[in-house]
Structure 1
Amino acid sequence: MSLSHHLLTEAYNNGWSNHRLLKACMGLSPTDFEATRTSFFPSIKATLNHILTVDWFYIDALEREARAEEPHPDYLAFFQPEQPFGTCEGLKAAQLQSDLRLVAYCQQLKDDSLGRIVTIQRGDMVQRETRERLLAHLFVHQLHHRGQVHAMLAGTPAAPPQLDEFFSEMDREARAADLRELGWREEMIWGSRASEQAAAGRHRPAQA
C-alpha cells in the first residue's frame, strides 16, 4: 500500500470512528451530554465541539494549500464560538460533513505530493508543515479526544462503542452496518484489494 493510500484509509477510519462514537452519544439526554465531567475538556459536549472546530481549522489549511490560496487570515475564526453546537444531533451532522471533506482531500493525494508545505497563519506566528505531518497530527488529535469522550461515556447510560481497531478483516461484519449508514463500501477504502482480502479471510484456517 502506498503512503498516500494509507492516509486515505486513515481518513475513512477517522470518519467511521466519529460516526460510531457520535451515534452512541445520540443516546444521551441533554443533561448527560452537557454534564460536567473529569477530562481535558469538562464535558462530552465541549470535547466533541473541540474535535470539530480543530478539524475545520486544519482541513481549511490543507484545502487552501491544495488550491494554491493564501493561508486563512484569522485562525481564531474557527473557534468563535468555542462550542458552535449545543446538541449532539447538530454536531453529528457537522462532523460528518467535515469528515467527508477530509476523505475528499485525501482521495487526491499522491505520494510525490506529500512533502508539499502547508502554511498556517497563527497571529504573529507562521506554522509550516508538510502535508504528511499535518495529516498525521490531525488523525492523532482526533484519536486523543475521541478516547476522552469514550472514557466519559462510561459514566453515562450510553455504552461506549468499540473504537480500538483499524478496519481489521476479522471485524468486517461488525462494521458493515456503520459503513452502509455512511454510504461507504470496503472497496472504497481498500480498492480492488478488498474482495481479495475478504476471500482470503473466508479461506483462512481458524487459529487455536
Structure 2
Amino acid sequence: MMITPEYCLTMARYNAWQNRQVKAFFANLDPVALKQDRKAFFGSLLGTANHLLWGDLMWMSRFTGAPPPAGGIKDTPTLTATREEWEIARFRADADILIWSERLRAVDLTGDLTWYSGAVGREVSKPKALCVAHMFNHQTHHRGQIHAMLTAAGVEAPVSDLAFMSAEGPWL
C-alpha cells in the first residue's frame, strides 16, 4: 500500500500543527501586510492560505461526500475576506481532517476515486491513496510558499520540520 491510516493521521496532525503556527504569525501582521500582493501564484499571504484552505475543503468533499467549497481555483484567494474568517474556517477544516484521519481504515485507501475536475475540465479517476497523499503534499507545498513570503517580508517564519512536531499535541 502506498500510504497507511497511520501516515494520514500523522500528516493530519502535522497539518493542524503547521496551521496553528501560521495563525500565530498572521496575528502579528496588520491586514494590509496580510493582503499585500507578494507576487506569489495566489498573490498574498491570505490569498495563498485561502487557496490551501479551499483545496483541503475540495479534497475532503471528495473523500467524505461533504459539500464542496464555492467557486473554482481562480476564486480561491478570496475564499475568506479577513484573517479572523480564515482562522475560523481553517480551524474547522483542520478538525474535520483530523476526525476523518482518526476514523480511516486501510480499506478506505484502496480503489479509485472519480470526480469531475474543474482544473482540467473533465472527469478524472485516480487511486484514492494517491489523492490522499496529494492533499497532504499540496498542504506542505503552499505552506512552503507562505513560509517564503513571511521570510521575504522580514518576519521570522514558523518551524516547519515534521521531525520537530510534538508527539503530545494538542493538534488544534
Q: TM-score, normalised by structure 2?
A: 0.84
1:107 alignment partner AA: E
State the shift of 1:78 in Å. 4.2
1:121 aligns with 2:116: yes
TM-superposition CA deviations, 1:121-141 (whole Å, max 9, x none): 235511122221111000111
State the shift of 1:30 in Å. 0.8
Contact 2:117–2:123 (8 Å) recurs in 1: yes
Contact 1:56–1:78 (8 Å) recurs in 2: no
Q: In 2, distance between residues paired with 1:107 and 1:35?
A: 37
Counterpart residue number, 2:161: 164
**Matched residue of 1:154: which SS?**
helix
Identity %: 26
Q: In 2, distance between residues paired with 1:128 and 1:136?
A: 15
Structure 1's 76 and 20: CA in aligned 2 closer, same or farther, altered over 3 A?
A: closer
Q: In 1, distance between residues paired with 2:47 and 2:13?
A: 24
TM-superposition CA deviations, 1:159-203 (whole Å, max 9, x none): 21111234x4xx63xx86xx3472xxxxxxxxxxxxxxxxxxxxx
| Structure 1: 5+ residue stretches without partners | 183-208
State the shift of 1:158 in Å. 3.6
Q: Spell out structure 1 runs of 4+ moving beyond 6 A.
A: none
State the shift of 1:76 in Å. 7.9
Q: TM-score, normalised by structure 1?
A: 0.70
Contact 1:150–1:160 (8 Å) recurs in 2: yes
Counterpart residue number, 2:147: 150
Counterpart residue number, 2:128: 131
**Matched residue of 1:77: which SS?**
coil
Q: In 1, distance between residues paired with 2:46 and 2:111?
A: 35
Q: In 1, distance between residues paired with 2:75 and 2:110?
A: 33
2:80 alignment partner AA: F
2:63 alignment partner AA: L
TM-superposition CA deviations, 1:10-60 (whole Å, max 9, x none): 111111111111221111101100111132222111101100111111100
Q: In 2, distance between residues paired with 1:34 and 1:158?
A: 15
Corresponding residue pairs, total: 166
Contact 1:54–1:78 (8 Å) recurs in 2: no
| Structure 2: 5+ residue stretches without partners | none
2:37 alignment partner AA: T
Contact 1:36–1:42 (8 Å) recurs in 2: yes
